[in-house]
Amino acid sequence: MRKQTLSEWIEQLRQDPNVVYWHEIEPKEANFVPFPDELDPRLGAALKARGIASLYTHQAAAYDAVQSGRNIVAVTPTASGKTLCYNLPVLDAIAKEPSSRALYIFPTKALAQDQRNELNEIIAEMGVSIYSHTYDGDTAPALRQKIRQAGHIVITNPDMLHTAILPHHTKWISLFEQLRYVVIDELHTYRGVFGSHVANVIRRLKRICAFYGSRPTFICTSATIANPKELAERLIGEPVTLIDNNGAPRGRKYFVFYNPPVVERTMNIRQSATKTAVELARQLLVNRIPTIVFARSRVRVELILSHLQAVVNERIGDTTIRGYRGGYLPNERRAIEKGLRSGEIIGVVSTNALELGVDIGQLQACILTGYPGTIASTWQQAGRAGRRQGDSLVVMIASASPLDQYIISHPEYFFARSPEAARINPDNLLILVDHIKCAAYELPFRRGETFGGVEVEEVLDFLAEQGVLNERAGRWHWMSDAFPAHDISLRSAAQENVVIIDISDTARHRVIGEMDRFSAMTLLHDEAIYLHEGAQYQVEKLDWEEKKAYVRQVDVEYFTDANLAVRLDVLSEDRSETRGQMAVRYGDVSVRAMATIFKKLKLSTFENIGSGPIRLPEETLHTSAAWIEWEAVPSRFSPALFEQLLVGIANVLGHLVPVFVMCDRSDLHVVPQLKAPHSGRPTIFLYDRYPGGVGLSEAVFERYEEIMKHVKEWVERCPCADGCPSCIGISSADGPSLKRELVQFLDEQLAVWAGPSV
Amino acid sequence: MKPKLAQWKELLAARHKKENDEEKEEEKPDGRPVTDVPYADVWREYGAKPYWFAGDYCLIRETVYPLDYQHGRYRLGALYEVHERWQEAPFSHPLSCRGFAVRDLFFFDTETMGLSSGAGNIMFLLGHARILGDFVTIRQHLLPYPGAEVALYQSFLSDVDYTTLVTYNGKAFDWPRLKTRHALVRNMVPKLPAFGHFDLYHAARRLWKDKLDSLRLSEVERHILHVERGDDVPGFLAPMMYKEFLQTPHPDRLMPVLRHNERDVLSLIALYIHLSVQLLEADRLADPKEQLAAARWFEAVGETAAARGVYEEASGKGAKEAQAAKWQLSLLYRKEKRYEEAALLWRDLLIHGNGYWKAKAGLELAKVYEHYFRDAAEAHRYAVMAYEAWRSLARMSRQHSEKEEAEWRRRLARLERKKNG
């Protein structure tokens, strides 16, 4: 059979009744400016040899700003030549003054590898002796010393900076004495907990630079978010100039919203997004159209992958479709990246791990299985298709979740609204104290010295009292036998990940991945089915003490789904607003979570075919939370009915709140309680998943009214009869209409809220 | 996992109020301490004097031992004797002090707060011993409080040249950590000298790896040098005692650590003497294991003649090391193309050795008879014997390599052909 081209397939898609919105992004011409006069001629020649005869407007603006000593953040879409925004000033500076040094920070090792290759090609073309190398866990020990002493451009990641470079700064004197530029790529990834940690790592970096007498200029690049300048300024603690005059061209892009057909009308149940994604991807792949499928979770990725492999295998051979996600080991990921670039792999199923700028060459089509959760992330993922000229296609398939259904039925919301803001809270006490310890290890603190502008004397005194520091004559010295950076992970709350070990081959156990502790409670408990590279593994034993999960490959017809029981206690109440019978509060809570039971669900039908207990110890989390509280159950409701209302509101909140505070669904948890243990009152809690909180629940507190209005509107507009999984969940059949009650109740509450505060 | 946030907040806030007021009054405007040395008289009694530099001080403690002081099995003065013997030794060796004067040798050991190699690991005691004339002089530079490192390194680096340090694992531990701490004050104190070094840990590992459970200096002392430490504090307690000393800086709190360090550097002298004797008298060593290790070391550093002599001695012994020595010796002969002598040793191993040596020696014989003596029949005979030894070895250990099997078969077939052809 003749293969269809992408254009032909797009025409066919136009006829599909499930396409609910069709958006075309017009091609755009390039905007060029000539090379700046002062550019080093060897660099100019090297760029010309690579086919770059002039600069895009944003590249020139970045160069000019950096020349005048300003920190910048360049915000441009995927494939707009953003790397030149930093490579140009950096290479220019080193070519002119060979003692200059630069530090490149990428969020992942994969990105760093990628950039090193590109950078070294330009350097080779320049014919100038510039030594640039990656410095990460994979760097050969023999090379490390050379990089430390002679590396002009050191390419690394925040974790490596945190544990290997800063604490050993005395081995990096030639870098720190001459550090002119610090490049922070993919700035938008530094948000939430991770961003808050990295902001503190930057504080430490700047402190060490000051010790060695250097004051680097920061060059950041970011995907489109609402507040790149603000984020950059918080991250580096200095004023930053925004560069966003994008001059890069782009091809035509079709952006299609696809809502799977309703298969069960009363319950408003649609065909699953996963199934739809598999079908659309299959059609593209059998026509050999390079396609990337994004899915929201690791489990989804593996499900889609195994289906696609089975369906497509006989048509185009086995290894051409691969999975890509965080749990894979580095060499596995590199092989996938290489295969994609060379064309040996034409299809890839990925979590948002590929959202970042890893170069995987040209893909023509992109399928999003469900709304990625944020507008910024959606554009990032959509940017994976059609990086150069030519038509490209993005299909976003809505899942049944209220958020997805909201987005897909409000395309104007999506296309008109600016992407979300990224938040960090570098002053989170736990994170801050962690990094003050690291900083004190690196260099003693002096009295009056601030840490990124924060007064830290009381923290230093506290640490001195703990015996970690020694204070004398206004100086705090590290005085412990520990190496603090080793105990502090930038990436997650849990300090130790669980290592996943495949014991299928008794003689040859091998590590196939790792997972953070909180996730492991529900995904790696005894008897759980764990999916990796499309294969199923059963967990034989989770050794919680040793943080090891032993798995064996199996072939079963089900997957597992675990329940997490949560107990919440309020520790302190910091902010509060009361209107009438109800109050919204913000403060610290302790969350105790325990995995209780798991269900076995049939793969094809999701039918429950068995269950079992999980025996793991409780994990405790101290964090910040916002909660909505009523004095009592309103008299017109029975407690049972009111509880259902709370569950319904919580259900919608869980889906919608991530839109407003830009976070992943799993970053913020919602828990409804008819009798909260601390007050005995009906309460809905929303808490940050990270110890100490990173400002998500505080944002909820501040935007309470706006959020509740959207909740009400969403429930009102949902086409279901009386509750469905897309809005308030499934209501019990008899009694009054829960949906109507809920809307009326929220109306009253919002009216009260608009009145005077108490 | 982490201290509770709420508790921390309270704790930190409470401390903030309390501490601040007190501190403010105490501090001098320029932030410089104008203190006297606490317990200076007690320190003097212990032989320690302050060394002032740039407003801070460190303590230097000097202790002197006579040459006939007996430390374990050696007199300290024996260093003069081994030094003389090295000057005349017919071989060179990494531990040889030929060309150096006795007073050039600095027996050096440090005490640190932790084991990590990062910038924050404080080194609080630098001790060294050298032999000057009729005395062993131990000099210890002590950091009395963090922040006095400029004084510490100034005092440590100003009067002597440490180009020849004798340490125990100093190459990997003490020196890199010293470099790190020095780097923090590098613009205010003399430069560190280039690094020249006898690291006795590497020597100990070569000689006693199989003999001792642990190669910690304390173990080597006990089992090799016969040093009794008595009431000495274990080294791992030193950081804790230093921490306590910082709280109440009475010398008695730290003297045990200083004494410990003092014993350490004395042990380095004894250990250097002992290792020198081991090497200088390697052909006369009683322990076949040590003898074999010494010979291997000579061979590794290219002193073939010395190695051969020691192997020959070792191969005369009845121990199982003798077979290893014979094997090593045969390889030396082979390298020198002395095939007759090599073959003699191989035949010896083939007849008297265990299965492992039978297989190895038989194979060598097969090779040498095939390629050098050009006697295919003999070569074949040896190959068959070696192959059988190899097979029963493989059966016993249940490790059978297809690749090796194929190699044997190829060799046997080729020799068979040659024999008949």
DSSP secondary structure string for all residues of A481-531: SS-GGGG--SS-SSSSPEEEEE-SSTT--EEEEEE-HHHHHHHSSTT-EEE
Q: Among the listed ranges A236-240, A590-594, A672-676, B369-373, which one has the minimum average pLDDT value?
A: A590-594
At residue B23, the pLDDT reads 39
Query: What is the pLDDT confidence band of residue A102, given thresholds at 50, 70 and 90?
Result: very high
Mean pLDDT for A528-554 is 86
Task: With respect to residue B328, please indicate whether it lies within any of the assigned structural domains.
Answer: no
Query: What's the pLDDT tens digit per position in B110-123?
Result: 999 988 889 999 99
Q: With 90 as the cut, is the pLDDT of residue A243 above it?
A: yes
Residue-averaged pLDDT of chain B: 87
Q: With 80 as the cut, is the pLDDT of residue A299 above it?
A: no
Task: With respect to residue B395, please indicate whether it lies within any of the assigned structural domains.
Answer: yes
Give the β-pairing of A253-258 and A291-294.
Answer: unpaired
Find the CB nearest B4 among A173, A465, A622.
A622
Whether residue B1 lies within 8 A of chain A, CB to CB, comes out as yes
Residues A720, A648 contacting (CB under 8 angstroms): no
Residue-averaged pLDDT of chain A: 85
What is the rounded distance in angstroms from the CA atom of residue A54 to the CA atom of residue A67? 18
A472 contacts on B by Cβ (under 8 Å)? 33, 145-147, 246
Phi, psi of B354 (to 5 degrees): -80, 180
Class in CATH terms, A32-243: alpha beta
A168 contacts on B by Cβ (under 8 Å)? 117-119, 180
Query: Do B62 and B199 fall into the same domain?
Result: yes
Mean pLDDT for B336-358 is 91
Nearest chain B residue to A434 by CA distance is B2
Whether residue B249 lies within 8 A of chain A, CB to CB, comes out as no
Query: Do B275 and B379 fall into the same domain?
Result: no
Q: Quote the minimal CA–CA distance from A259 to chain B in Å.
A: 44
Q: Among the listed ranges A28-37, A406-415, B384-393, which one has the minimum average pLDDT value?
A: A406-415
Q: Among the listed ranges A247-261, B8-22, B59-73, B327-341, which one has the minimum average pLDDT value?
A: B8-22
What is the rounded distance in angstroms from the CA atom of residue B330 to the CA atom of residue A522? 63
* Long-range CB contacts for residues A611-617, cutoff 8 Å, separation at least 24: A612/A527, A614/A521, A614/A525, A614/A526, A614/A562, A615/A526, A616/A521, A616/A525, A616/A542, A616/A544, A617/A544
* Distances, alpha carbon B34 to alpha carbons A213, B19, B55, in Å: 29, 21, 8
At residue B24, the pLDDT reads 37
Nearest chain B residue to A693 by CA distance is B5
| Count of pairs with CB atoms under 8 A, one residue in A, one in B | 124
A440 contacts on B by Cβ (under 8 Å)? 120
Q: With 60 as the cut, is the pLDDT of residue A366 above it?
A: yes
Mean pLDDT for A6-33 is 91
At residue B170, the pLDDT reads 92
What is the rounded distance in angstroms from the CA atom of residue B361 to the CA atom of residue B359? 6
User: How much of chain A exceeds pLDDT 70, in percent?
Assistant: 90
B118 contact partners, CB below 8 Å, separation of at least 6: A167, A168, A441, A442, A483, A485, B180
At residue B33, the pLDDT reads 47
What is the rounded distance in angstroms from the CA atom of residue B253 to the CA atom of residue B65? 24
B145 contacts on A by Cβ (under 8 Å)? 470, 472
Give the β-pairing of A582-602 and A558-579.
Answer: antiparallel
Query: What is the pLDDT confidence band of residue B12, given thresholds at 50, 70 and 90?
Result: very low
Find the CB nearest A168 among B118, B239, B243.
B118
Contact B145 A167 (CB under 8 A): no
Task: Tell which wins on pLDDT, A114 or A357.
Answer: A114
Strand, coil or helix: A212: coil
Phi, psi of B52 (to 5 degrees): -95, 140
Q: Quote the minimal CA–CA distance from A28 to chain B in Å.
A: 52
DSSP string, A652-680: HHHHHHHHHHT--GGGEEEEEESS-TTTS
Task: With respect to residue B340, please indicate whether it lies within any of the assigned structural domains.
Answer: no
Query: Do B379 and B272 fall into the same domain?
Result: no
**CATH assignment at residue B158:** 3.30.420.10
Residues A122, A47 contacting (CB under 8 angstroms): yes
Ranked by mean pLDDT, which of A209-218, A644-653, B50-59, B164-173 comes out on top? A209-218
Strand, coil or helix: B316: coil
Phi-psi region of B53 (alpha: psi -120 to 50; beta: other; left: phi over 0): beta
Nearest CA to B306 among B268, B332, B327?
A: B332
Q: Quote the minimal CA–CA distance from A488 to chain B in Å.
A: 11
Query: What's the pLDDT tens digit per position in A605-649?
Result: 667 888 899 988 888 777 889 999 999 999 888 898 899 899 889
Of all helices (H) and strands (E), which one includes residue B15? helix B5-26
Question: Dihedral sign, CA of A700, A706, A712, A718?
Answer: negative
Query: What's the pLDDT tens digit per position in A141-162?
Result: 889 999 999 999 999 999 999 9
Q: Among the listed ranges A119-128, A668-677, B155-164, which one has the minimum average pLDDT value?
A: B155-164
Whether residue B114 lies within 8 A of chain A, CB to CB, comes out as yes
What is the rounded distance in angstroms from the CA atom of residue A190 to the CA atom of residue B370? 70
B26 contacts on A by Cβ (under 8 Å)? none
Cα angle for residues A585, A590, A595 (degrees, 5° grid)? 125
A573 contacts on B by Cβ (under 8 Å)? none
What is the rounded distance in angstroms from the CA atom of residue B166 to the CA atom of residue B270? 11
Mean pLDDT for A331-342 is 73
Contact A477 B239 (CB under 8 A): no
Give the β-pairing of A262-264 and A269-270.
Answer: antiparallel
Q: With 70 as the cut, is the pLDDT of residue B21 above it?
A: no
Contact B184 A443 (CB under 8 A): yes
What is the rounded distance in angstroms from the CA atom of residue B266 to the CA atom of residue B225? 11
Contact A477 B122 (CB under 8 A): yes
**Mutation choice for B interface testing from A436, A480, A623 by most B CBs within 10 A:** A480
Residues A356, A82 contacting (CB under 8 angstroms): no
**Mutation choice for A interface testing from B1, B4, B5 by most A CBs within 10 A:** B5
A485 contacts on B by Cβ (under 8 Å)? 118
Contact B120 A475 (CB under 8 A): no
At residue B26, the pLDDT reads 39
Query: What's the pLDDT tens digit per position in B270-279?
Result: 999 999 999 9
Q: With 90 as the cut, is the pLDDT of residue B109 above it?
A: yes
At residue B20, the pLDDT reads 37
What is the rounded distance in angstroms from the CA atom of residue B49 to the CA atom of residue A643? 77
Phi, psi of A142 (to 5 degrees): -65, -30
**CATH of region A6-22+250-416, choose from 3.40.920.10, 3.20.20.140, 3.40.50.300, 3.40.980.10:** 3.40.50.300
Phi-psi region of A684 (alpha: psi -120 to 50; beta: other; left: phi over 0): beta
Query: What is the pLDDT confidence band of residue B345, given thresholds at 50, 70 and 90?
Result: very high
Find the CB nearest A481 among B19, B114, B180.
B114
At residue A588, the pLDDT reads 85
Domain around B101: 40-280
At residue A734, the pLDDT reads 61
Q: Quote the minimal CA–CA distance from B114 to chain A in Å.
A: 4
- Residues, chain B: 421
Strand, coil or helix: A123: helix
What is the rounded distance in angstroms from the CA atom of residue A33 to the CA atom of residue A53? 9
Task: Tell which wins on pLDDT, A661 or B416.
Answer: B416
Contact A170 B6 (CB under 8 A): no
Query: What's the pLDDT tens digit per position in B233-265?
Result: 888 899 999 999 998 899 999 999 999 999 999
Query: Do B270 and B411 fall into the same domain?
Result: no
Contact B119 A477 (CB under 8 A): no
Question: Dihedral sign, CA of B18, B20, B26, B31?
Answer: positive
Find the CB nearest B113 among A440, A447, A481.
A481
Query: What is the pLDDT confidence band of residue B72, given thresholds at 50, 70 and 90?
Result: very high
Contact B147 A588 (CB under 8 A): no
Helix axes A704-717, A738-754, angle to 10 degrees: 150
Mean pLDDT for B218-240 is 88
From the CB of residue A122, how many other CB atoms can be counted at a distance below 10 Å? Answer: 22
What is the rounded distance in angstroms from the CA atom of residue A326 to the CA atom of residue A107? 13
- Residue at which a domain ends, from B253, B280, B307: B280
Nearest chain A residue to B149 by CA distance is A477
Contact A588 B5 (CB under 8 A): yes
Contact B118 A480 (CB under 8 A): no
Whether residue B66 lies within 8 A of chain A, CB to CB, comes out as no
- E-assigned strand segments in B113-233: 123-132, 135-142, 165-167, 197-199
What is the rounded distance in angstroms from the CA atom of residue A44 to the CA atom of residue A59? 14
DSSP letter at A546 equals T
Q: Quote the minimal CA–CA distance from B418 to chain A in Å.
A: 42
Query: What's the pLDDT tens digit per position in A261-271?
Result: 887 766 667 88
At residue A63, the pLDDT reads 97
* DSSP-assigned beta bridge partners for residue A270: A262
Task: Tell which wins on pLDDT, B410 or B319.
Answer: B410
Find the CB nearest A462 among B12, B146, B184.
B12
B305 contact partners, CB below 8 Å, separation of at least 6: B90, B91
Q: Quote the minimal CA–CA distance from B233 to chain A in Å.
A: 18
Nearest chain B residue to A571 by CA distance is B6
A23 contact partners, CB below 8 Å, separation of at least 6: A254, A255, A256, A257, A411, A415
Query: What is the pLDDT confidence band of residue A406, given thresholds at 50, 70 and 90?
Result: confident
Nearest chain B residue to A168 by CA distance is B118
Tokens (6 digits) for A383:
């940017």
At residue A309, the pLDDT reads 83
Give chain B's domain count.
2
Contact B239 A495 (CB under 8 A): no
Give the β-pairing of A101-105 and A179-184.
Answer: parallel
What is the predicted ipTM? 0.77
Phi, psi of B11 (to 5 degrees): -55, -50
Query: Do B220 and B132 fall into the same domain?
Result: yes
Residues A529, A551 contacting (CB under 8 angstroms): no
Query: What is the pLDDT confidence band of residue A422, given thresholds at 50, 70 and 90?
Result: confident
Of all helices (H) and strands (E), which one includes residue A379? helix A375-382
At residue B25, the pLDDT reads 36
Nearest CA to A589 among A464, A477, A701, A511?
A: A701
Q: With 90 as the cut, is the pLDDT of residue A59 above it?
A: yes
**Mutation choice for B interface testing from A161, A169, A170, A430 by most B CBs within 10 A:** A170
DSSP string, A249-285: -B--EEEEEE-PPEEETTTTEE--HHHHHHHHHHHHH
Task: With respect to residue B140, please indicate whether it lies within any of the assigned structural domains.
Answer: yes
Task: With respect to residue B126, please indicate whether it lies within any of the assigned structural domains.
Answer: yes
Mean pLDDT for A648-660 is 83
Q: With 70 as the cut, is the pLDDT of residue A683 above it?
A: yes
Residues A418, A226 contacting (CB under 8 angstroms): yes
Q: With 60 as the cut, is the pLDDT of residue B22 above it?
A: no
**Mutation choice for B interface testing from A461, A471, A489 by most B CBs within 10 A:** A461
Query: What is the pLDDT confidence band of residue A568, given thresholds at 50, 70 and 90?
Result: confident
Contact A485 B115 (CB under 8 A): no
Contact A485 B114 (CB under 8 A): no
Task: With respect to residue B89, please indicate whether it lies within any of the assigned structural domains.
Answer: yes
Task: With respect to residue B10, please indicate whether it lies within any of the assigned structural domains.
Answer: no
Phi, psi of A707 (to 5 degrees): -65, -45
Query: What's the pLDDT tens digit per position in A195-210?
Result: 889 999 999 999 999 9
B113 contacts on A by Cβ (under 8 Å)? 478-481
At residue B404, the pLDDT reads 87
User: How much of chain A exceeds pLDDT 90, in percent?
Assistant: 39
Nearest chain B residue to A572 by CA distance is B6
At residue B6, the pLDDT reads 47
Mean pLDDT for B389-408 is 85
Whether residue B15 lies within 8 A of chain A, CB to CB, comes out as yes
Tokens (6 digits) for A113:
């590898």
A521 contacts on B by Cβ (under 8 Å)? none
Query: Do B274 and B405 fall into the same domain?
Result: no
Query: Do B258 and B366 fall into the same domain?
Result: no
A303 contact partners, CB below 8 Å, separation of at least 6: A274, A295, A531, A559, A603
